[in-house]
Amino acid sequence: MFKTNAFSDLKPFDVLTWNELKDRFILNQIELFKDTRWKIEGDYPIDSFPIKEEEVYPNTVTYKAIGYYRKCDYGKIVNAKTDLTGKTFSRQCLDNGKFLYLTLPKEIIIKNQKNVLHNKDLKILNKFIEEINNSSKGWTKENYISYLKKYDENYPLKTTETNKAEEVYKWRADFAIEWFMSLKEEGIINPLLYYIDKKPDTEIKEARWEFDGRGTHRPFLIAHAGYDVPYFFRIDNDKNPTYYSVKKAYPELLNINLKNKTVKAYSTKNIYDEICY
């Protein structure tokens, strides 16, 4: 499932402190670069996460940004980064944060995820992936390009509403073949990490955890590559934490029962899948 062994011993509902979490991400980075195809951007140590000195404030810490990359057969390069580097963390998170490890089954992601950040309708992309999966040649480069040309001809509408500088075909916006094939062939580099402090909510009149808008395309790619989707959710001392989506993406709501080791993943207000671990 994972590219390295840094996370492979974890089981759903394991809880880590911030330092335990950070140590695993450092180990993951060290092990990643044992594969000499992977390179690191800039002058950056492999065995630590340096702090961005000019942005150290009393109540927050910002880690320097870092990127990983390697050449690949699909496209020019595979880009990757951790969910620690380039991010700002509160001192509360670093001093007292607790992180719950969970995996959401790939089947419920594939069934329920209807959109990603720059693609509001995944029906055509789902059909494309399914058709290649069921073809005799599978995900060979030649077969992929053949299907890609066919779908681009059948669905020619383009969009500029992505993070790309150029126009892309709307039906496959946010589908990065480099990432997808890297996942299929080598595994996941690291789990998704949600670390933001609880935010006030006027409707329920208390602070709440939120999916902060990141990580919509990664669960989609990971699930279609054949893996359950791994997460670290910050929970601190919550009895039964609940996560809310701010983008109305899947899951819209995640209810976590720590005692029973069950999760309810809501696709709408009243429809959910219950996962028992």
Residue 99 pLDDT greater than 90, yes or no: yes
pLDDT at 56: 64
Q: How confident is the model at residue 15 (pLDDT cuts 50, 70, 90)?
A: very high
Whole-number average pLDDT of the chain = 93
SS3 (DSSP) at 274: strand
The answer to whether residue 214 scores a pLDDT higher than 90 is: no
- Residue 207's pLDDT band (cuts 50, 70, 90): confident
Mean pLDDT of the region 210-226: 90
Task: Kindly give the residue spans of alpha helices, DSSP state H, lying in 137-216.
Answer: 141-154, 177-186
Q: For position 41, what pLDDT does the model report?
A: 81
User: At 241, is the secondary structure helix, strand, or coil?
Assistant: coil
Asked if pLDDT for residue 203 goes beyond 70, the answer is: no
Q: What is the mean pLDDT of residues 258-269?
A: 95
Looking at residue 57, what is its pLDDT?
Answer: 72
- Return the SS3 of 265: strand
Average pLDDT over residues 53-57: 69
**Once rounded to an integer, what is the mean pLDDT over residues 53-65?**
82
Q: Measure the CA–CA gap between 51 and 66, rounded to whole angstroms.
A: 11
pLDDT for the residue 202: 65
What is the predicted pLDDT for the residue at 49?
94
Beta bridge partners of 258: none
- Does residue 69 carry a pLDDT above 90? yes
**How confident is residue 213, by pLDDT bands cut at 50, 70 and 90?**
confident
Average pLDDT of the residues in 68-88: 91
Task: From residue 233, give the alpha-carbon distance in Å to each of 22, 79, 115.
Answer: 14, 24, 21
pTM for the full model? 0.94
Provide the residue ranges of all domains of the chain, joining segments of one domain with +. Answer: 15-117+174-276, 119-173
- Give pLDDT tens digits for 121-137: 999 999 999 999 999 99
pLDDT of residue 52: 87
Q: In terms of residues, how long is the chain?
A: 277
What's the confidence (pLDDT) of residue 263? 98
* Ramachandran region, residue 261 (left: φ > 0; alpha: ψ -120 to 50; beta: rest): left
Looking at residue 204, its pLDDT comes to 63
